[in-house]
Amino acid sequence: MVTTGLSVVEAARETLAARERGATVVVALVLDGPCAGARRLRIRERSGEGGPRNHSVGALGHPHLEGLVDGLLHDALDGEPLSARSSEAGTRTVVLPGTTTEVPVYLERTRPPSGLLIVGAGHIAEPLHLQGALLGFRVTVADDRPDFADPARFPRAHRVVRIDFTDPFDQIERADRSHVILVTRGHRYDYECLRRLVVEDPLPEYIGMIGSRRRVRATFHQLLEEGVPRAALERIRAPVGLDLGAETPGEIAVAVAAEWVAIARGGSGRPMVEVERVAERFFPDEADDARK
Amino acid sequence: MRESDEHLNVLRTLVEGAERGEPMVVATIVRTRGSTPRKEGARMVVGADGRVRAGTVGGGCGEGEVLEAAARTLSDGQSRTVRVDLTEDLLTLSPAVCGGIMEIRVERA
């Protein structure tokens, strides 16, 4: 059979271009049976763009199989986990109509980058923006001080913006601030940001604020006095980060980023050695001996 | 967060390789069972010289078998599926004591 569909390189090119314009892509690769090795992909454009919202690329040349693959692609675009262990990739099986032929189809989803806005371009923002970029965020750094809001200090940022705290988000698109972390130099700046963020609809997926217990308490107190409901405050993660005993900016950035991963992946944040307890579970006698 | 740098690096490496006209191979984990070092979607790009250009499918655990398959695909152009069984090595001194099974699709890019 002549190979149909897209090549792996064509699929990669389409995926990168679509991601760049904020679209979600699912690639299907037929692993066996008719059309083995063929790729077809489906793109969901970001809402608000002109033209059709969903479209497919790469004809499989087998109408029945193509229909079944389109069904898989359609469901995968809706965001369901694609396998038990990996939310963004996995293999499904379809059965060709009127036969018992099972065709395995590998699916892989690529979503547009989530936007991470770092408010406050001080010494923590530098390693923090690197961590954000490493995790695949499209990072924006914002500060009102021109010396700090300097792109040269943030080589991995998508954008570095000079803002005015009287209206801190007016120049930053919603998609670029689905995740917001406040690392400003003072509690009144945190307050100015939070009082706007907690009333947004929809709320950002993540709102985090660094700070001491005292600073967090002072900010929350002020928001409550202004009439912000308690439920809204509960959406703010503050202070941020896992308890690593971090002290330096680099260490703090690791602690904050580690918590981002734990939130996204549903991790507990506990040490693996305690989660797995390999020695205790598999060598009980030795562990008992060691305790004696 | 959902899109790691690694995934994008693999896609970019494939596109750039094609622009240079370099034959490359991409290996993708398409199915796993049990405990494997990487999950579905992890990939590795191997260059014409047989060296890894981007990504990984699990380091010591099974990567040798994948590199052998990549060399065959580089020379014959045929796609193949490699089944890497990491369970049988549990009691040996092999470094591949990861404990699962993974199916890896190896394709010419």
How many domains are there within chain B? Answer: 1
DSSP structural state of residue A151: G
Residue of A nearest to B10 (CA): A12
Structural domain boundaries enclosing A147:
115-265
DSSP structural state of residue A170: T
The CATH number for A191's domain is: 3.40.50.720
Which residues in chain A are closer than 8 Å to B3, comparing Cβ atoms? Answer: 19, 110-113, 136
The answer, as to whether pTM is greater than 0.80, is no
Residue of B nearest to A7 (CA): B109
Which residues in chain B are closer than 8 Å to A91, comparing Cβ atoms? Answer: 30-31, 40, 103
Tens-place pLDDT, residues A117-156: 999 999 999 999 999 999 989 999 999 999 999 999 999 9
Query: What percentage of chain A reaches a pLDDT higher than 90?
Result: 71
Tens-place pLDDT, residues A217-256: 999 999 999 999 998 899 999 999 999 999 999 999 999 9
- Asked if the model's pLDDT at residue A1 lies above 50, the reply is no
Does residue A76 sit in the same domain as residue A173? no
Counting one residue from chain A and one from chain B, the pairs whose CB atoms sit within 8 A come to: 95
The kind and range of the H/E element at B102 are strand B100-108
Which residues in chain B are closer than 8 Å to A83, comparing Cβ atoms? Answer: 31-32, 39-40
Three-state secondary structure call for residue B26: strand
Best residue in B5, B15, B28, B30 for a mutation probing chain A (most A CBs within 10 Å): B30
DSSP structural state of residue A111: P
How many domains are there within chain A? Answer: 2
The verdict on a CB contact (< 8 Å) between B14 and A88 is no
Does residue A106 sit in the same domain as residue A119? no
- Asked if the model's pLDDT at residue A50 lies above 70, the reply is no
Q: Of A276, A264, A278, A284, nearest to A113 (Cα)?
A: A264
Q: What pLDDT is attached to residue B100? A: 85
Q: Of A176, A187, A264, nearest to A220 (Cα)?
A: A187
Does residue A103 sit in the same domain as residue A14? yes
Does residue A254 sit in the same domain as residue A129? yes
The verdict on a CB contact (< 8 Å) between A89 and B41 is yes
Q: What pLDDT is attached to residue A182? A: 97
Which residues in chain B are closer than 8 Å to A108, comparing Cβ atoms? Answer: 28, 41
Tens-place pLDDT, residues B2-31: 446 788 899 999 999 999 999 999 999 999
Q: Are strands A115-119 and A179-182 parallel, antiparallel or unpaired?
A: parallel
Tens-place pLDDT, residues A91-115: 999 999 888 989 999 999 998 888 9
Task: Give every residue of chain B whose pLDDT is below 70, as ranges.
Answer: 1-4, 61, 88-98
Q: Is residue A2 part of a domain?
A: no
- With a threshold of 0.85, tell me whether the complex ipTM lies above it: yes
Structural domain boundaries enclosing B95:
5-108
- Asked if the model's pLDDT at residue A288 lies above 90, the reply is no
Q: What pLDDT is attached to residue B86? A: 79
The verdict on a CB contact (< 8 Å) between B15 and A12 is yes
